[in-house]
Amino acid sequence: MPHHLLVKGGTVVNDDRSFRADVHCEDGIIKQVGLDLAVPEGTEVVDATGKLVLPGGIDTHTHFQLPFMGTVSVDDFFIGTQAAVAGGTTMIMDFAIGMAGESPLAAVEKWRGWADEKVVCDYSLHCAITWWDESVARDMAVIAGEKGINSFKVFMAYKNVFQLPDDKIVHVLKHCKSIGAIMQVHAENGDIIDEQSRRMIDLGITGPEGHVMCRPEEVEAEATNRAIMLANQLNSPLYVVHVMSKSAADRISEARRRGCVVFGEPIAAGLGTTGHHCWHHDWRHAAAYVMGPPLRNDDSTPGYLMHMLANGDLQATGTDNCTFNADQKALGKDDFRKIPNGVNGVEDRMSIIWEKGVHAGILSPSQFVAATSSNAARIFNMYPRKGRIEAGSDADLVVWDAEASRTISAKTHHHAVDFNIFEGMTVHGVPLVTISRGKVVYAHGKLMTVKGAGRFIPRGAYSDFVYEKIRVRDRANLPVGVKREPYSGPVIKL
């Protein structure tokens, strides 16, 4: 028996227009979008009268159950995806991260094993490249060609752990281009962080504020610029993850103006709060905001990044959801270098961006959709299957109440973590009903999820959105030498 569902009475918002329409879904796929649709008897109806109907959010950046800095992040693929759907996100993109010396392909299989049995909504993976040799190159080709992953993250920070030097990054960029993938970069200068964090400790600054002070904006901006230069020289596409500062965002925006194929991803934390909290007198509170690159100790940064999203200077939004409880953060109680880095976001990203973007008058509802799903789907090559409401797309939808508000709190959130960096914030824009693949998974405060019901979404190589521009640039910018007669004059003897 096919399962039919009708979302009735709402206003559909895509990234290019909004219109009054009902959405008829059959077996997880959108069948029809329009008014007065003929649907079979027994069709389940979701009332969206007077509400918006948006493509489900795509969180481009999570780390569920990540083994990191001696411990494991507490939101696993089950709780993490539950928190996602409770917030109107129907797809997450996590990172398979092998240690140096480990096969990236094995890491991908390991993450698939962890995620497949737990996810309650669809997901995808990026793959980190933390070392380099020919076997890594071969793995990357298999991962892109056969495993449905076309994005590879390198780290310019985390010295002696994940950090790659420039010559290796060049290999990754070249190889990504040869297999139709996109390189993602964690852009911070790890060498200077290593040096300056030691200086903080020498100065007796052991608390979370030291984490922020030893990696100021230019540390992020320099690495962002360097990654852009390397990618541009090779005409290989680049995606900068977790853009946390105004100056790093400026580097991306300037590069795009010069025609570089570079994309930037701000995250919910950077759009919704600041690094002031790292100076809080309660250590537990301060440590909860430690992440890398750091939240900036500057009130103007969140609004600036939001305007960059509205202008199209930045494109997609993630969260870097990588949560650790206070007792885990306390591994660094005497030395901020040992505080596991990471914050929450997967549940609140949509509401934070609605509040700080649409409610604040910076984003239109269509731009909100672009920033929370459509652009990510295009860059990572799953559009219009994801990120759009039209016949043939996956039935990942959220019925959104733009007028309602809620107050964020760790007491009511769906995360495993014991802290919420947005605690006490009242946000407009509330997900009423979340639909994953045509099934209601969250409605009016209640989860109706099935563990393992989400699927891995394979993403093919050579995303047109990314590679069309690469191709025309390759053709137009091919260096041409000067044709001249061979030199026939005298040459000195050596």
State the Cα–Cα distance between residues 393 and 390, nearest whole angstrom.
6
Evaluate the CA torsion angle 298, 59, 243, 189 in order and state its sign: positive
What is the DSSP code (8-state) at residue 361? T
Q: How far apart are CA 328 and CA 92, in angstroms?
A: 24
**Binding marks (x or -) toward ligand URP, 259..298, rule CB under 6 A?**
--------------------------------xx------
Could you say which residues in the range 137-196 bind ligand URP, by CB under 6 A? Answer: 186
Answer yes or no whether residue 8 interacts with ligand URP by CB under 6 A.
no
Report what 341 binds from ligand URP, Zn ion, none; CB cut-off 5-8 Å by kind: ligand URP
Rg of the chain over Cα atoms, rounded to whole angstroms, equals 23
Task: Closer to ligand URP by CB, 336 or 467: give it.
Answer: 336
| Distance of closest approach, residue 327 Cβ to ligand URP, in angstroms | 18
- The per-residue DSSP string of 289-358 comes to T--SSPPPS-TTHHHHHHHHHHHTSS---B--B----HHHHGGGTT-GGGSPP-B--TTTHHHHHIIIII
Among 76, 122, 320, 394, binds ligand URP (CB under 6 A): 320
β-sheet bridge partners, residue 6: 24, 45
Q: Are 317 and 264 spatial neighbours (Cβ–Cβ below 8 Å)?
A: no
Longest pairwise C-alpha distance within the chain = 94
Instruction: Decide whether 139 or 320 has the Cβ nearer to ligand URP.
Output: 320
CB of 242 to ligand URP, least distance (A): 6
> Is the Cβ of residue 240 or residue 306 nearer to ligand URP in the bound state?
240
CA dist., res. 96 & res. 94, Å (int)? 7
Q: Among residue numbers 217 through 246, which ones bind ligand URP (CB under 6 A)?
A: 242
Q: What are the start-end ranges of the E strands in 437-483? A: 439-443, 446-447
> If DSSP codes are grouped into helix, strand and coil, which group holds residue 442?
strand
**Closest to ligand URP by CB, 25 or 115:** 115
CB of 490 to Zn ion, least distance (A): 58
Residue of 197, 224, 301, 341 that binds ligand URP (CB under 6 A):
341
- Single residue of 186, 329, 349, 415 touching Zn ion by CB under 5 A: 186
Residues in 354-413 that interact with Zn ion by CB under 5 A = 359
In one-letter notation, the amino acid at residue 150 is N
| Alpha-carbon torsion, ordered 409, 355, 429, 85, to 10 deg | -60
428 binds, among ligand URP, Zn ion, none (CB under 5 to 8 A by kind): Zn ion
What is the 3-state composition of the chain as percent helix, strand, coil, each rounded to the nearest 5? 35, 20, 45
- 434/444 Cα distance (integer angstroms): 9
Query: CB-wise, 398 or 402, nearer to Zn ion?
Result: 402
Q: Using CB under 5 A, count the residues that bind Zn ion.
A: 4
Which one, 59 or 320, has the nearer CB to Zn ion? 320
- Closest distance to ligand URP from the beta carbon of 73 (Å): 8
Nearer to ligand URP, 153 or 171 (CB): 153
What minimum distance in Å lies between the beta carbon of 331 and Zn ion? Answer: 19
The angle formed by the CA atoms of residues 333, 337 and 343, to the nearest 5 degrees, is 80
From the list 189-197, 296-304, 351-359, 463-471, the region that binds Zn ion by CB under 5 A is 351-359
342 near ligand URP (CB under 6 A): yes
Which lies closer to Zn ion via its Cβ, residue 122 or residue 320? 320
Mask: binding to ligand URP, 51-80, rule CB under 6 A, as x and -?
A: ------------x-----------------
296 makes contact with Zn ion (CB under 5 A)? no
- Least distance in angstroms from the C-beta of 322 to ligand URP: 4
Q: How far is the CB of 258 from Zn ion (least distance, A)?
A: 25
* 161, 163, 165, 166 alpha-carbon torsion, rounded to 10°: 170
Tokens for 238, please give them. Answer: 């680049």
Q: Closest approach of Cβ 50 to ligand URP, in Å?
A: 39
159 makes contact with Zn ion (CB under 5 A): no
- Per CB under 5 A, the list member of 94, 320, 394, 396 interacting with Zn ion is 320
How distant, in Å, are the alpha carbons of 246, 259, 353, 401, 410 from that of 404? 31, 41, 15, 6, 20
Q: Please, what is the minimum distance in Å from the beta carbon of residue 226 to Zn ion?
A: 16
Distances (CA, A) of 92 to 310, 415, 457: 22, 15, 10
> To which residue do tokens 């591994």 refer?
331
Least Å distance, CB 184 to Zn ion, is 9
The label of the residue with tokens 């094995």 reads: 106
Q: Total residues at the site for ligand URP (CB under 6 A)?
A: 9
Write down the least CB distance from residue 164 to Zn ion, Å.
12
DSSP classification of residue 267: B
Residue (of 336, 218, 313, 297) closest to 263 by Cα position: 313
Q: Is 428 in the site for Zn ion (CB under 5 A)?
A: yes
Strand, coil or helix: 284: helix
Shortest gap between Cβ of 276 and ligand URP (angstroms)?
17
User: Which stretches of the chain bind Zn ion, using CB under 5 A?
Assistant: 186, 320, 359, 428
Residues that bind ligand URP (CB under 6 A): 63, 186, 242, 291-292, 320, 322, 341-342
